[in-house]
């Protein structure tokens, strides 16, 4: 983590999908460089490996979606693979942290994910955060030859293998899915203990157990995200039941961008809620931002936006 993580962080998404094929993706790295120069703390990319045709499932909380949610592109939308994107972004930036929001880690073979994440952490000089979750779409698991119903346990297994390979010089591992002995995997991540894992999910026993065991951060979902104060209080109690009584977990809180009557970003109105959610325990403020088409305008707006955020969090 960066040296100033005692202060609230400002995170923004980097759009890595499109409903139709763009002429090129050059703007992607241009936006990443803009975030880097403007002082954004963390940029985030999303993940989908494949799509089925039942996209209404995204709006079903019982399968991992969010009430009222809608998949933004349709089944033939173009979605770039996040670890590949972050590898390119790593070379185009120098200071902004690189994160996934969220990576469906269980769809990747654990040892290969451990290797790619460690490599990216080394090349970025310790700037990687791995946000993970179980996802909502059955077809992605089926396409990967995996069972959708067991995805939570599969994610726990994946994280356990990654952590073992990140931390142990001569690694041994055994669970009901995999066994290996005397395995060496180098390089290790730059960050002590391995790449920080941010666990996404609602307040329930499975997520609390995962957060207690693996989590550096929590990405609230569903009702916990809607009522962040109560969500944090509930998750603190739930995590303590699994033996992690000292709450040292970073927490995401998302706020909308507010605009004035002329359509300009209203920094004061946007950040009015920040002191309250920070007081409640939020450490990472995430703001959906649409970058202006004109590069000069985009840089001026975003630089002012970041400065306004610093003003209310120092």
Which domains occur in the chain, in start order? 9-313 (3.20.20.30)
CB neighbourhood size of 225 (10 A): 16
Query: DSSP assignment, residue 101?
Result: E
212-222 confidence digits (pLDDT tens): 999 999 999 99
Mapping DSSP to helix (H, G, I), strand (E, B) and coil, where does residue 299 land? helix
From residue 165, give the alpha-carbon distance in Å to each of 111, 133, 160, 187, 237: 8, 20, 9, 10, 30
Q: Tell whether the model's pLDDT for residue 3 goes beyond 80.
A: no
2 or 277: which leads in pLDDT:
277
36-45 confidence digits (pLDDT tens): 999 999 999 9
pTM of the model: 0.94
């Amino acid at each position: 983590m960066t040296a100033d993580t005692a202060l609230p962080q400002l995170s923004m998404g980097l759009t890595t999908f499109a409903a139709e094929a763009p002429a090129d993706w050059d703007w992607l790295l241009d936006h990443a460089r803009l975030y880097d120069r403007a002082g954004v703390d963390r940029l985030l990319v999303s993940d989908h490996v494949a799509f089925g045709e039942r996209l209404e499932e995204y709006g079903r909380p019982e399968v991992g979606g969010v009430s009222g949610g809608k998949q933004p592109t349709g089944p033939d939308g173009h979605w770039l693979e996040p670890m590949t994107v972050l590898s390119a972004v790593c070379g185009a930036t120098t200071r902004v942290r690189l994160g996934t929001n969220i990576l469906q880690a269980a769809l990747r073979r654990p040892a290969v994910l451990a290797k790619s994440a460690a490599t990216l952490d080394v090349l970025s000089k310790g700037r990687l955060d791995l946000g993970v979750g179980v996802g909502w779409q059955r077809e992605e698991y089926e396409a990967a030859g995996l069972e959708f119903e067991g995805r939570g346990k599969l994610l726990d297994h994946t994280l356990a293998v990654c952590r073992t390979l990140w931390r142990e010089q001569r690694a041994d591992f055994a669970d009901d899915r995999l066994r290996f002995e005397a395995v060496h995997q180098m390089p290790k991540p730059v960050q002590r203990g391995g790449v920080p894992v941010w666990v996404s999910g609602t307040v329930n026993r499975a997520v609390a157990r995962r957060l207690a065991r693996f989590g550096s951060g929590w990405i609230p979902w569903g009702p916990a995200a809607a009522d962040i104060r109560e969500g944090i209080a509930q998750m603190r109690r739930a995590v303590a039941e699994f033996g992690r009584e000292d709450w040292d977990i970073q927490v995401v809180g998302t706020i909308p961008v507010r605009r004035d009557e002329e359509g300009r970003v209203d920094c004061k109105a946007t950040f009015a809620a920040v002191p309250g959610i920070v007081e409640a325990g939020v450490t990472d403020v995430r703001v959906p931002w649409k970058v202006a088409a004109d590069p000069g305008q985009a840089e001026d707006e975003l630089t002012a936006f970041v400065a306004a955020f610093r003003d209310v969090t120092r």
